[in-house]
Amino acid sequence: MRAISQTSPAKDFTPTPRRGVNVSHFLTQTARRIPDRLAVVDDDHGQRWTWAELDARAEALAAALQAGGVDRRDTVLLVSANHAEVIQSFWGILRSGGVIAPPNAALSTEELLGISAEVAPAAVIADRAHTDFVTAFKDSGFTGPVYWIGELPTAQAAAAPAEAVDSTVDEDDPCWYFFTSGSTGRPKAATFTHRHLGAVLMNHRCDLFPNEDETGASLVLAPLSHGAGIHMLGQVFGGTPSIIHPGGKPSVESLWPAIDAYGITNAFTVPTILNRIASGYPLGRGPEDHTLERVIYAGAPMLAADQARALERLGPCLVQYFGLAEVTGAITILRPEDHGAIPVDDAGIGTCGRARTGVEIVIVDETGAQLPAGEQGEVCVAGPTVCAGYLGRPDANAESFAGGLFHTGDVGYLDERGYLFLTGRKSDMYISGGSNVYPREIEELLLTDTEVAQAVVVGVPDPQWGEIGVAVIERATSIGNEGAGDGGAGGAEADADELAERLTALCKSGLAKYKVPKEIHFVETMPVTAYGKLARKELKAEYSQGRGSAR
Query: Is 90 exceeded by the pLDDT of residue 550?
Result: no
For residue 362, is it within any domain?
A: no
**CA 325, CA 28: separation in Å to the nearest integer?**
27
| Domain CATH for 463 | 3.30.300.30
For residue 235, is it within any domain?
A: no
Sequence-ordered strand ranges (E) for 441-511? 452-462, 466-475
For residue 528, is it within any domain?
A: yes
Q: Specify the 3-state DSSP secondary structure of 193.
A: strand
For residue 468, is it within any domain?
A: yes
Give residue 90's pLDDT.
98
Residue type present at position 493 = E
Q: What percent of the chain has pLDDT over 90?
A: 70
The C-alpha angle 28, 30, 33, rounded to 5 degrees, equals 110
Question: Which residue, 174, 194, 214, sits at the end of a domain?
Answer: 194
Residue (of 465, 46, 37, 514) closest to 246 by Cα position: 46
For residue 424, is it within any domain?
A: no
For residue 386, is it within any domain?
A: no
**CA 275, CA 207: separation in Å to the nearest integer?**
23
Give residue 374's pLDDT.
94
Question: Which residue, 154, 175, 194, sits at the end of a domain?
Answer: 194
pLDDT digits (tens, 9 = 90+) for 177-232: 999 854 445 679 999 999 999 999 999 999 999 999 999 999 999 999 989 999 99
pLDDT digits (tens, 9 = 90+) for 443-493: 878 988 989 988 999 999 988 888 999 999 999 875 444 444 444 555 556
Residue (of 364, 374, 371, 369) closest to 419 by Cα position: 374
**Long-range contacts of the stretch 109-115 (C-beta < 8 A, 24+):** 109/133, 109/136, 110/510, 111/511, 111/512, 112/79, 112/137, 113/137, 113/140, 114/186, 114/187, 115/77, 115/179, 115/187
The C-alpha angle 99, 153, 224, rounded to 5 degrees, equals 45
Q: Are 75 and 125 in contact (CB under 8 A)?
A: no
pLDDT digits (tens, 9 = 90+) for 310-356: 999 999 999 999 999 999 889 999 999 999 888 777 655 678 999 99
**CA 124, CA 144: separation in Å to the nearest integer?**
7
Residue (of 309, 297, 305) closest to 344 by Cα position: 305
For residue 228, is it within any domain?
A: no
Residue 145's contacts (CB-CB under 8 Å, 6 or more residues apart) are 68, 69, 123, 124
Question: Which residue, 194, 212, 247, sits at the end of a domain?
Answer: 194
Residue (of 520, 377, 536, 384) closest to 451 by Cα position: 520
pLDDT digits (tens, 9 = 90+) for 136-164: 999 999 999 999 999 999 975 545 555 78
Give residue 350's pLDDT.
79
Residue (of 360, 402, 408) closest to 385 by Cα position: 360
Give residue 423's pLDDT.
74
Mean pLDDT (the chain) is 90
SS3 track for 397-460 = HHHHCHHHCEEEEEEEEECCCCCEEEEEECCCCEEECCEEECHHHHHHHHCCCCCEEEEEEEEE
pLDDT digits (tens, 9 = 90+) for 76-116: 999 999 999 999 999 999 999 999 999 999 899 999 999 99
Confidence of residue 529 (pLDDT cuts 50, 70, 90): low
Its pTM stands at 0.81
For the chain, the domain total comes to: 2
Q: Give the residue with greater pLDDT, 300 vs 48.
A: 48
| Domain CATH for 187 | 3.40.50.980
| Segments forming the whole domain that contains residue 453 | 430-544
Q: Is the dihedral of CA 269, 202, 388, 125 positive or negative?
A: negative
For residue 369, is it within any domain?
A: no
pLDDT digits (tens, 9 = 90+) for 224-262: 998 999 999 999 999 999 999 999 889 899 999 999 999
Helix or strand run (H / E) with residue 390: none
**CA 384, CA 196: separation in Å to the nearest integer?**
6
Q: Are 494 and 541 in contact (CB under 8 A)?
A: no
